[in-house]
Structure 1
C-alpha cells in the first residue's frame, strides 16, 4: 500500500514538473518573441525618424535550376533617401547596371547596359512609390521594406513568430540577431547594437520553392547627413540613351538576373 502511495506521489511530482517545464518553455519562447519584436521596433523607429539616410549594400540572390542546382548572383549598390518623397538607388551586378531616381513626382529607371530608361508619373511619397512599383511589376522588391515610414508594421504583417537568437558580428560590428517566420518566407536580420540600431544584414528564405533559395542583403556605411547636392534626386538622361516603354524588350536588361533564369527568393 505504501509503495502504491509512493508511486502515485512520484507520478504526480513528475507530471507537475513536466507541466512546469512546459510552462517555463512557453514563457521563455514568448519572452524571446517579445524581445525580438522590441529590438526590431527600435531599428524601424530609428530609421523612420531620420530625415535623410544613405548607405552602401551588397546583395546575393539565389535561384534553383531545373537540375536542382543552386546558383547565386551578386551585386552591389548605393542608396540615398530623403523623406518623405525622394529616393535614389544604384545597383551594379554582372548582368545589370541600373539606377532608380524618384523626386516625389516622377520615377525614372535607367539601365546603363541597355542605354535606355523608362519614366512614369507617380506623385506621392517613397512609400507610395514602392507600393505602386511592386503592384505594376507584380514582383517583390526585397529590402525595400526597410525604407518604409511604417517599416515595423510592414515587416511584421505576415509574421507567425519571432525569436531573439542572440548576438552576432557582421563586418566587424556587433549585432542583435533576430529570426522571424512567416507562411511563405522566413527571414533573419542583424541589427547593430548601441545608439544607432541600423540593419547590417538581412536574409530572406523562400519556403515555397524547392531548395529554399535565399536573398541576402549586407548594408554598410550608414549615414544620416543632409544631402548638399541639389541634383541628388534629379534624373538627367545621359547623352545618346533611348526612352522606352515598360513593356519593351529592353527591360530585360534592367534585371539583376540573366534572361531565362528562374526567379529566386523574393519576399
Structure 2
C-alpha cells in the first residue's frame, strides 16, 4: 500500500471521518464530517471538509497556502514554498491541528506509520463499502491503529482507525476513503484560490483556523497520530 500510494502522481478521493471526544462525565461523543481531496505530487493540494462545526477549503499551489472558512466568510493566506509534506508538517506544528490520515499520503508513509509500532497483526479479511480488504492492526506506545487495504492490483487504504490510549476512554478517529482515483487532474485552476465575493482576509489567529479542526473549540480529542 505504501509503495503504491507513493508512486501515484495524482490522487483524488472523497472521505467520511468520525472523531470521538470524552466529556468530563466520561461520556463518549462523536463528531462527523465529509470531504474531498485532490493532490498532485510534489506540491499541489486541495482539501475540502464539511461537518457540523467546520466548513473549510484548503488550497495549496506550491507557493501559497490559502484556507477559506465558509462559516466565517473569511480566509487566511501564508507563504509556504515547498512540498505538500512540508506544508502538512508546518500546519501541524504551528496550529496544533492533528490532521489524522495525512500520513497515508506521504511519500515515506511506511516509515511514518510504523515509527511507533511495537506489534502488528494481520487480522484477516473485511469488506468496506462493498470492497474486499485486508485488515491489519498495530500497537504503539501512545496509539493503536487499524487499517483496511483493498485487495488486488490497487492496494489503496479504505478505512483507517486510530485509538488514543493516553486519553481516558480511549477515543477513536475513523476515516473511510471512497472514490479513489489516480488519473491526472485536468482542470488548470484546481489548485488556484480565488476568494469568494465578499470574503474578508484575516490573520492566522482568526476563527478560520479554529474551523479547520473537526470538533468545537474547547473539546479534548485524541487521534494525534
- State if a TM-score over 0.5 links the two structures: yes
Structure with the largest fraction of strand: 2
TM norm structure 2 = 0.97
2:87 and 2:208 map into 1 onto residues whose CA distance is 22
For residue 261 of structure 1, the aligned residue among 201, 210, 219 is: 219
Which residue of structure 2 aligns with residue 154 of structure 1?
Answer: 112
Structure 1 residue 253 displacement after superposition: 3.3
Aligned-residue offset at 1:265: 2.9
- Cα deviation, 1:102-160, whole Å, max 9, x if unaligned, reads 11111111111111111111100111111111111134210000111111111111111
Give the count of matched residue pairs: 225
Q: CA deviation at 1:250?
A: 4.7
Tell me, yes or no, if the aligned pair for 2:162 and 2:174 is still in contact at 8 Å: yes
Matched, 1:64 2:36: no
1:248 corresponds to which of 203, 206, 220: 206
Residues 19, 221 of structure 2: 8 Å contact kept:
no
Higher helix share: 1
CA RMSD of superposed structures (Å)? 1.1
| TM-score calculated relative to the size of structure 1 | 0.82
Task: Report deviation, 1:80.
Answer: 0.5
For residues 197 and 53 of structure 2, what CA distance do their matches in structure 1 show? 22
> What is the Cα deviation at residue 248 of structure 1?
2.2
1:79 aligns with 2:33: no
* Greater relative contact order structure (CA < 8 Å, 6+ sep): 2
Q: Deviations over 1:56-102 (max 9, x none)?
A: 00000000000100000000000001001101000100111011111
Unaligned runs of 5+ in 1: 1-42
- Greater Cα radius of gyration, structure 1 or 2: 1
| Residue from 138, 161, 167 that aligns with 2:96 | 138
Shift, 1:168, TM fit: 0.6
